[in-house]
């Protein structure tokens, strides 16, 4: 590909920056070179299927005719009754009998290459920036849990009722605990982002430092198996936050 063709694919995305009260803080820009040059739909599907499959418990189980409890006695004699011949009450064609080829416990998890996971995440981020589903917020600081305050901030940013993924530079216990009881809100460090979480979100709400980290191109993407928001808060951090609230 020529340099001219590569240049034609490079885009600059504009992102609105707001304060916690919804006030306009200006506009920021990021080059698509930091993300990707296109939305790679096939790769995105592979990544999403992987994350969803890895979430499956795989504990479904049915009993075959040999596992069903009951007598092994022949229900009636072979001939002379007028009934169809039968050899067992545990036959799959009988009510309460075994199941033929039913689901058994299994592990659905699989993995794609690390380079594929990282490229899929960059493509997902490209899609969000390209669709103008990214906002930057400044001053989002929660030293102690405050769910009501976070709800007010989201409403001020026009994100009330939407599924939002809040991106930070590092784990913040106060912010994580504030969002823990909100069904559609997730908090994650940008280095812990994964394709499924990014695509499921209606909007990415990035702290200014997190946006700068992505814009610099220096952040490391792990793109591993998604984790619940609760797992981002360690027990010592949660205990410290609860003590602060009690005071």
**Architecture of the domain made up of 3-56+110-246:** 3-Layer(aba) Sandwich (3.40)
Domain ranges of the chain: 3-56+110-246, 62-102
How far apart are the C-alpha atoms of 12 and 72, rounded to whole Å? 73
Residues 87-145 pLDDT 10s: 999 999 999 999 999 999 999 999 999 999 999 999 999 999 999 999 999 988 888 89
* Alpha carbons 5 and 28: distance in angstroms, whole number: 26
- Report which secondary-structure segment, H or E, holds 68: none
Read off the pLDDT of residues 194-226 as tens digits, 9 standing for 90 and up: 999 999 999 999 999 999 999 887 766 665 554
- Rounded to the nearest angstrom, the gap between the alpha carbon of residue 24 and the centroid of all alpha carbons in its chain is 30
Sheet with 164-168: list strands edge to edge.
Answer: 24-31, 12-19, 134-138, 203-207, 164-168, 185-189
Q: Of 195, 228, 190, 232, which is closest to residue 207 (Cα–Cα)?
A: 190
Q: Give whole-number Cα distances, 239 to 40, 172, 174, 243, 246, in Å.
A: 43, 14, 11, 6, 11
Q: In this structure, how many other beta carbons lie within 10 angstroms of the beta carbon of residue 216?
A: 10
Q: Mind listing the pLDDT tens digit for each residue in 49-100?
A: 999 999 999 999 999 999 999 999 999 999 999 999 999 999 999 999 999 9
pLDDT at position 220: 64
Residue 217 gets the label, from left (phi > 0), alpha (psi -120 to 50) or beta, of: left
Give the predicted TM-score (pTM) of the model.
Answer: 0.78
């Amino acid at each position: 590909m020529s340099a001219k063709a590569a240049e034609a694919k490079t885009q600059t995305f504009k992102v609105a920056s707001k304060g916690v009260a919804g006030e306009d803080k200006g506009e920021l820009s990021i080059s698509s070179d930091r993300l990707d040059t296109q939305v790679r739909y096939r790769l995105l599907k592979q990544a999403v299927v992987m994350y969803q499959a890895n979430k499956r418990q795989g504990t479904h189980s049915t009993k075959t005719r040999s596992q069903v409890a009951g007598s092994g006695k022949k229900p009636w004699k072979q001939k002379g009754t007028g009934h169809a011949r039968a050899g067992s009450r545990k036959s799959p064609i009988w009510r309460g009998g075994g199941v033929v080829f039913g689901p058994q416990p299994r592990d659905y998890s699989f993995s794609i290459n690390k380079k594929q996971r990282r490229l899929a995440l960059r493509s997902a981020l490209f899609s969000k920036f390209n669709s103008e589903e990214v906002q930057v917020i400044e001053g989002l600081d929660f030293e102690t849990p405050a769910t009501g305050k976070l709800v007010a901030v989201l409403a001020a940013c026009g994100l009330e009722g939407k599924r939002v993924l809040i991106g930070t530079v590092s784990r913040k216990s106060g912010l994580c605990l504030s969002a823990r009881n909100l069904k559609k809100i997730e908090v994650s460090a940008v280095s812990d982002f994964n394709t499924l979480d990014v695509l499921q979100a209606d909007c990415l709400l990035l702290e200014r430092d997190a946006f700068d980290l992505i814009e610099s191109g220096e952040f490391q993407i792990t793109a591993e198996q998604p984790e619940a928001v609760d797992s981002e808060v360690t027990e010592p951090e949660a205990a410290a936050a609860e003590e602060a609230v009690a005071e």
